[in-house]
Amino acid sequence: MDQKDLVNELHSILNLYGENEWIELKEAKTNYDFNKLGEYFSALSNEANLRKKSNAWLVFGIADKKGTVVGSTFRHTPGSLDSLKKEIADFTGGMTFQEIYELFIEDKRVIMFKIPPAPRGMPTSWKGHYYGRNNESLAALSPDRYEEIRSQSSLSDWSAEIIPNASIEDLDPAALIKARHEYSNKHPRLKEEVEAWDDIAFLNKAKITIKSQITHAAILLLGRPESEHLLSPSVAKISWILKDKDNIEQDYEHFGPPFLLNTEMAFSKIRNLKYRYIADHSLFPIEINQYDSYVIREALHNCIAHQDYRLAGRINLVETPDHLIFTNLGHFLPQSIKAVLQHDAPQEFYRNRFLAEAMVNLNMIDTIGSGIKKMFITQKNRFFPMPDYNLSQSNKVEVRISGKVLDENYTRLLINRTDLDLDTVMLLDRVQKREKLSNEEVKQLRAKKLIEGRQPNLHLSAQIAEITGDKTAYIKNRAFNKDYYKSVVLSFLSQYKSATRKEIDELLMDKFSDMLNEEQKRKKVDNLLYEMSKKDQSITNLGTNRNSKWSLTKS
């Protein structure tokens, strides 16, 4: 927009101000709080969506009550406004200003921030929180407005949108050949018919194009590398990143379209080393790969199918010595992984339904909705930890696949108890990862006599320790009776007459459960000494600090 258009736009804004909730005027003469700026970005973006506006406006340099131009020196140094776009995007999951304009009215500088509406199905957040407007006031986005935006996702499918001026010439010939091959494998009864179809007929029947027109999904899966620009401003990139044990980056490579071919290239970068462990009653080790090929491909293909491409971010595959970490942008539509596993049914709506169905037809993912559960079952059958889904970040899903045994007791238990259902195994997996369980979940495991201990220090029960042959680990994990610890202290004082706190710590610390950390063990000693001196009155503190000596109470 040129200066004349901007001035006209500003006059229109000033005339509307006070009659809507997608415009905010601020004096902001010099500094303005960055966090407050982000909150307004979230609020105005969400309000623009709800009111079906093409954009919202935040304007600096205006006396907000009178609409008088007063000017602003906010970020007046060259380039400082440009950097603001990235700074905002870092806390909004990739969204930022459409444009930032500067204009001068009677030598007074006005800054106009053009804010995009929240994408369909995804409210705009700021640092994980969602904002809206209550008349002219900034407020948390109400639950009903949040759901109103969320429900829009069933009405829009980015992957099915037609790309003007794109043609079959923008598709990669090798990817087309591969697509035909995979489609025939998925639909063997149609193999002879597939061979007779020309490319356009095949693409239509495989639901990759719509009425012979090239879709976003077609470019993602089959596009030539140089056709990636047709998706702009969306980004089609998978980044493989190798890190060492200290989380320092060692190597990386980026992969674009055609994803049908290049996901295999990304897969080949993973160093899937051999892992060995010895099963009970065997002299020979079990040797398997760190990662199951199906689990890797399903996790990566799920990232492609469910990425929110409107956020213009990359899909990341991070490899560490012990884990693979997959991340894609976009909130997790089913809300929880538990809901996916328990319902065992397709979702009511998908962010990229057209893309997901094309990937099913090309044998890239299982029938929509079943692949995630199969990942968990595969890990269970390999006696490895369950996948970890981190859904706490705004507009991002992170999946962590472990490539090593975390707790040998857990592994032995799965080897010896193949009858355990997936729900129970997932709870035991959380026990081995020291994650907090609900009271109901703890009750469920206790009823099956699988665990002992108290939150958060749960461990395998004696019965399971006997089954797995790891009775020594059970003894180290269980807690002795409190009288046992008291008797140890009394015996020591009887023999040596006195003991410093350091000596008592050395006497007891290695006798406590290995489930306790150092701080918890020291607290346990504190409580024990307090009870013995104040309640039992069996010992006496000879001083007032932690270096004082303890002795038996004289009768």
pLDDT, tens digit, 9 for 90 and up, residues 100-139 = 999 998 889 999 999 999 887 788 999 889 999 987 789 9
Residue range 157-186: mean pLDDT, rounded: 95
CB atoms within 10 A of CB 12: 12
- pLDDT for 366 equals 77
pLDDT interval class at 309 (50, 70, 90): very high
Residue 458's closest CA among 398, 409, 389? 409
Q: Give how far Cα 297 sits from Cα of 252, 317, 366, Å.
A: 19, 11, 11
Q: Taking the C-alpha atoms of 412, 418, 419 and 424 in order, what is their torsion angle to the nearest 10 degrees? A: 60
- pLDDT for 110 equals 93
Q: Is the pLDDT of residue 346 over 60?
A: no
CB 192, CB 343: distance < 8 Å: no
Q: Please report where in the chains the tokens 């089609």 appear, as a residue.
A: 236
pLDDT interval class at 92 (50, 70, 90): confident
Share of the chain above pLDDT 90, in %: 44
Q: Is the pLDDT of residue 155 over 70?
A: no
Q: 104-113, 218-227, 365-374, 445-454 — which is least confidently predicted?
A: 365-374
CA 428/CA 229 separation, integer angstroms: 47
Q: Give how far Cα 409 sits from Cα of 80, 292, 426, 455, Å.
A: 56, 21, 14, 19
Residue range 266-281: mean pLDDT, rounded: 77
Residue range 336-357: mean pLDDT, rounded: 74
Instruction: Name the amino acid, one letter, at 53.
Output: K
Side-chain half-sphere of 24: how many Cα atoms within 13 Å? Answer: 27
Instruction: Name the amino acid, one letter, at 128.
Output: G
R_g of the chain, CA atoms, integer Å: 31
Indicate the average pLDDT of the chain: 86
Residue 313's closest CA among 387, 394, 249? 394
Q: Going by DSSP bridges, is the β-strand pair 238-243/137-140 parallel, antiparallel, or unpaired? A: unpaired
Note the Cα 234 to chain centre separation in Å: 20
Residue range 3-31: mean pLDDT, rounded: 83
Q: Please report where in the chains the tokens 């006696």 appear, as a residue.
A: 383
This prediction has a pTM of 0.60
- pLDDT for 95 equals 81
Residue range 225-254: mean pLDDT, rounded: 93
Highest mean pLDDT among 19-23, 155-159, 195-199, 508-512: 195-199
CB 47, CB 84: distance < 8 Å: no
Residue range 356-369: mean pLDDT, rounded: 85
CA 508/CA 154 separation, integer angstroms: 61
CB atoms within 10 A of CB 453: 17
- pLDDT for 543 equals 75
Q: Give how far Cα 305 sits from Cα of 1, 10, 368, 396, Å.
A: 36, 41, 10, 14
CA 181/CA 176 separation, integer angstroms: 9
CB atoms within 10 A of CB 357: 21
pLDDT interval class at 324 (50, 70, 90): very high
Q: Give how far Cα 455 sits from Cα of 263, 394, 436, 518, 528, Å.
A: 42, 29, 7, 17, 20
Q: Give how far Cα 224 sits from Cα of 207, 236, 305, 306, Å.
A: 19, 12, 19, 21
3-class SS of residue 248? coil
Q: 68-72, 302-306, 423-427, 551-555 — which is least confidently predicted?
A: 551-555
- pLDDT for 367 equals 64
- pLDDT for 387 equals 94
Residue range 400-421: mean pLDDT, rounded: 84
Task: For 21-71, list the strands marked E by DSSP.
Answer: 23-26, 56-60, 62-63, 68-69
CB 140, CB 47: distance < 8 Å: no
Residue range 335-342: mean pLDDT, rounded: 73
As given in the structure block, the two tokens for residue 180 are 């035909």
Q: 186-195, 250-259, 406-415, 497-506 — which is least confidently predicted?
A: 406-415
Residue range 214-228: mean pLDDT, rounded: 96
Q: Is the pLDDT of residue 424 over 70?
A: yes
- pLDDT for 17 equals 63
CB 23, CB 136: distance < 8 Å: no
Instruction: Name the amino acid, one letter, at 378.
Output: T
Which residues are paired to 15 by β-bridges? none
As given in the structure block, the two tokens for residue 473 are 């680990």
pLDDT digits (tens, 9 = 90+) for 52-89: 888 899 999 998 767 889 999 999 888 788 889 888 98
Residue 399's closest CA among 257, 294, 298, 251? 298
pLDDT interval class at 475 (50, 70, 90): low
- pLDDT for 323 equals 94
Domains belonging to the chain, first-starting first, are 3-152 (3.30.950.30), 159-231 (no CATH), 238-350+362-402 (3.30.565.60), 408-477 (no CATH), 482-552 (1.10.10)
Residue range 20-36: mean pLDDT, rounded: 87
